[in-house]
Amino acid sequence: MSKSSRRPVLATALALALVGAGVLAAPFPALAQAFPNRAITVIVPFAAGGPTDVINRLVAEGMSKDLGQPVVVENVTGAGGTIAAARVANARPDGYTILAHHIGHATSATLYRNLPYDVEKSFAPLGLVSDAAMTIVARPDFPANDLQGLMAEIKRQGDRLNLAHAGVGGANHLCGVLMQYAAKTNLTTVAFRGSAPVLTEMMAGRIDVFCDQATNTTPFIRDNRIRSYAVTLDRRVEGLNLPTTAEAGEPTIAMSTWHGLYAPAGTPEPVVERLSQAIRAALREERLRARFAELVTEVASQEQATPAAHRRHLAAEVARWRPIIQAAGVYAD
């Protein structure tokens, strides 16, 4: 082979090596066109059947249709989602192993002081997929008619009241931390294995206060089996006759349980964009949108489901929750 004929071969080999390292990505759309050629695994950090699992199985199904390859969900539970996140952070950055996580990914940056990865730097955000309101609820006979009345009771009684959560680092735990931070007092916290037993105990009058996803609490609220005070979004939730926390006079108690998908850091840009395109395609499907509505969960917009918007949102959430968790002094490790 002559020197002149070797040059294009060597140049192509070098370019492909740089693409694999994430140095050159945009000039090689063929890489994205070849991806994927086999099944993709979505690691979900929580048990099958829960809101995070159900939401991301719907997304995975839609992505599979768009990508033309199976997108398989695998549940890897434990340590507030950090075991699953570590597995993806250490996976080969080729787009075939991705993480589905919720707000707990952002808060784990502070809740866990010895993570084996960096919440922002070890991952390539692919796009947000959903946004769910939290609801503030109490036992049926709780002596407060509105949110300000509830917060007044919390301030007055302090640790004589109990506050339930379903695991440190979960969305309901974080919402409870936010309520205590706003009230500048501590309640007696009681841990449960999941939301269902909390709601059972609350209906029996043994749990005073709880903050959980509308997905879980809506049936109990609609049947008046528990007292309900507000939703924690900046907008009202269709189907629930509840004010927002801002409308109810407590604007600092604002949060949502958002979900997003991540690839390992170093995944080539064309692959990141192809996965993001598949997410956006999945979110346009009517079946998914109808099912999300049943789950009292909002579908992320097409702009929110982009890597850039997701990265900005993650950074903002990490920064927002750090002082709140540090002030509470409650850590998961």
Residue 161 is assigned to a structural domain of this protein: yes
State whether 215 and 281 are in the same domain: no
State whether 146 and 95 are in the same domain: no
In this predicted model, what pLDDT tens digit does every residue of 186-217 receive, in sequence order? 999 999 988 999 999 999 999 999 999 998 99
State whether 82 and 149 are in the same domain: no
State whether 96 and 159 are in the same domain: no
Residue 127 is assigned to a structural domain of this protein: yes
The pLDDT score that the predictor gives to residue 31 is 54
Of the candidates 123, 253, 107, 230, the residue with the CA atom closest to the CA atom of residue 176: 253
State whether 218 and 273 are in the same domain: no
- Integer Cα distance of 183 and 158 in angstroms: 9
Q: Dihedral of CA 78/82/86/89: which sign?
A: positive
The pLDDT score that the predictor gives to residue 328 is 87
The pLDDT score that the predictor gives to residue 32 is 53
Q: Give the tokens for residue 261.
A: 């998908």
- Integer Cα distance of 333 and 324 in angstroms: 17
Cβ(310)–Cβ(304) below 8 Å: yes
State whether 313 and 324 are in the same domain: yes
Residue 15 is assigned to a structural domain of this protein: no
Residue 244 is assigned to a structural domain of this protein: no
Residue 168 is assigned to a structural domain of this protein: yes
pLDDT < 70 stretches in the chain: 1-33
Residue 250 is assigned to a structural domain of this protein: no
The pLDDT score that the predictor gives to residue 170 is 84
Q: Which residues contact 121 (CB under 8 A, 6 or more apart)?
A: 265
Cβ(259)–Cβ(18) below 8 Å: no
Domain boundary among 185, 216, 231: 231
- Integer Cα distance of 184 and 191 in angstroms: 21
Say whether pTM exceeds 0.75: yes
State whether 108 and 144 are in the same domain: no
Torsion of CA 22, 27, 33, 35, to 10 degrees: 0
The pLDDT score that the predictor gives to residue 4 is 43
Residue 288 is assigned to a structural domain of this protein: yes
Q: Tell the burial category of 190 from Cβ atoms under 10 Å away from its Cβ (0-12, 13-18, 19+).
A: middle
Domain hosting residue 178, numbered range: 133-231
Find the CATH number of the domain harbouring 215.
Answer: 3.40.190.10
The pLDDT score that the predictor gives to residue 333 is 84
Of the candidates 237, 134, 120, the residue with the CA atom closest to the CA atom of residue 178: 134
- Provide the number of structural domains found in the chain: 2
Residue 239 backbone phi and psi in degrees, to 5: 95, -10
State whether 90 and 149 are in the same domain: no
Find the CATH number of the domain harbouring 78.
Answer: 3.40.190.150
Of the candidates 189, 209, 186, the residue with the CA atom closest to the CA atom of residue 199: 209
Ranges assigned E (strand) in 118-158: 123-138
State whether 141 and 100 are in the same domain: no
The pLDDT score that the predictor gives to residue 11 is 42
What is the three-class DSSP state of 238?
Answer: coil
Domain boundary among 191, 213, 231: 231
State whether 279 and 319 are in the same domain: yes
State whether 138 and 227 are in the same domain: yes
Place of tokens 């784990």: 108
Domain boundary among 216, 231, 246: 231
Cβ(97)–Cβ(88) below 8 Å: yes
State whether 112 and 44 are in the same domain: yes
